[in-house]
Amino acid sequence: MLCWIGLGLVVLFVGWVLLQMKTSRPDGEYLPSVHPYRTMMQYVMTTRAESIVYYDIEVPADNLLDYIQDVRKRFHADVTHCLVAAAAVGLQENPEMNRFPIGRRLYQRHGNWVTFSMKRKKKNKKAKLATVKKEIPPDMTFEQLCSYLSEEIKVQRSGKETYHDKEYNLLTSLPRPILQFGVNLLKWMDYNNILPGSFIKGDALYTSIFMANLGSINMASAYHHLYEWGNCPLFIMAGKIEERPYVEDGKLKTRKVIPMRLTYDERIDDGLTASHGIESVRRVLEDPHTYLGCLKEDGSDHYKLGRPDELVPLAPTHEEPEEEEAEEVPTVETSFDEITKDFKEAKAESDEKDSSKPSTGKEDDSKSGTTPSGESAKKESTQDNATPATTESKETPSDNKDKKD
């Protein structure tokens, strides 16, 4: 009995050691070579709540509003689409901001993931809150991004029950002890890197950045906390567009701005890297005509998000010149066949009329003639209608008898 207990303890110890050595995850790559100071931060500041840093910025909105008005002549776009695009550019240009701490380790996330929240019915306080999580490929244009996001928004606002709705209804129907045990178990699995990738991919809080456009419901921006669930290290809140004063060349002026407040986990990188990421977001929103483009029909400004020097070729359009030529061929053949058929029918009718005429001696004499011109006409008649002419040129015995008489 003691042997079996000892063997069980050994197996548990070996399993625990192997579990602690596991560094691979489905959503990120382990970064072993980070500064020792940043490694120690994972043990000193063990939660996101004590690792929060806040930023408060405002972005001039005049160019952004003009751009949205221009781009709507081609496709639908709004402030939320532009915010998501700017956040994606910030992550692409500053990959250090796309990290996350878990299990006292630091990881580089696979892909740039953006999650944003929305009301399922616009400006309806009783409507449910929905979240949309999408990976933003680096080679996507702004037009493609808008179509990509609008498809998911359409699903969320369709009024149909989604998979997440069913999942939440099932979980909240469980008794509290069971639900609490399940949540703690999932956190333990996440800490030890054994949480399934399918679970991570479908959860909105396992993301690079979480955004909320409070301006869409006419609210001011707010400072938001970071969730202990999941591994999201960045949060952006954008408020309603306001008229604010500013100083230019020593003169007091006013302009429209978007107030934004950002929250980030200090453990992923230092404040200098965070400021670079913020400037990337600000640059895109201040000059969307340059960094988002997609205004021209010829595709000359259809480039990758935030990279005006990298054009994305338009999909080839099929003009159908070849198809039109192909359609004309059978039409020509059909008309030719009809003409040939009509000609043959007319010729057959003419032959039938000629063969039905009675042949007489006088006609034979006039046709045969004695002059060269008569012989020539006879030859031509024979070449044109060989059968009828031959029949008419032959003399019957009755004709010979008439001549003798």
**Identity (one letter) of the amino acid at 173?**
S
Q: What is the pLDDT of residue 103?
A: 93
Lowest mean pLDDT among 91-100, 237-246, 339-348: 339-348
Of all residues in the chain, the percent with pLDDT exceeding 70 is 75
Confidence at residue 372, expressed as pLDDT on a 0 to 100 scale: 43
- Residues 326-375: pLDDT tens digits? 444 444 444 555 555 666 666 676 666 666 555 444 444 444 444 444 44
Domains in the chain with CATH codes: 45-291 (3.30.559.10)
Looking at the DSSP bridge assignments, the partners of residue 58 are 259
Residue 213, both tokens: 């456009």
Axis crossing angle, helix 176-191 with helix 163-172, rounded to the nearest 10: 120
Q: What is the reported pLDDT for 393?
A: 41
pLDDT tens profile 145-201? 999 998 888 887 777 777 778 888 888 899 999 999 999 999 999 999 999 999 999
* pLDDT higher than threshold 60 for residue 395: no
Residue 401, pLDDT score: 42
**Which has the higher per-residue pLDDT, 298 or 108?**
108
* pLDDT at 78 exceeding the cut of 50: yes
Choose between 100 and 13: higher pLDDT.
100
Number of Cβ atoms within 10 Å of the Cβ of 137: 15
Q: Structure pTM?
A: 0.73
**Which carries the bigger pLDDT value, residue 298 or residue 341?**
298
Predicted pLDDT at 119: 74
* pLDDT of 218 strictly over 80: yes
End-to-end CA separation in angstroms for the chain: 150
User: Which among 78, 82, 142, 139 is positioned nearest to 112, based on CA atoms?
Assistant: 139
Tokens linked to 382: 């024979």
Q: Which pLDDT score, from 0 to 100, does residue 339 have?
A: 55
Residue with more model confidence, 258 or 376: 258
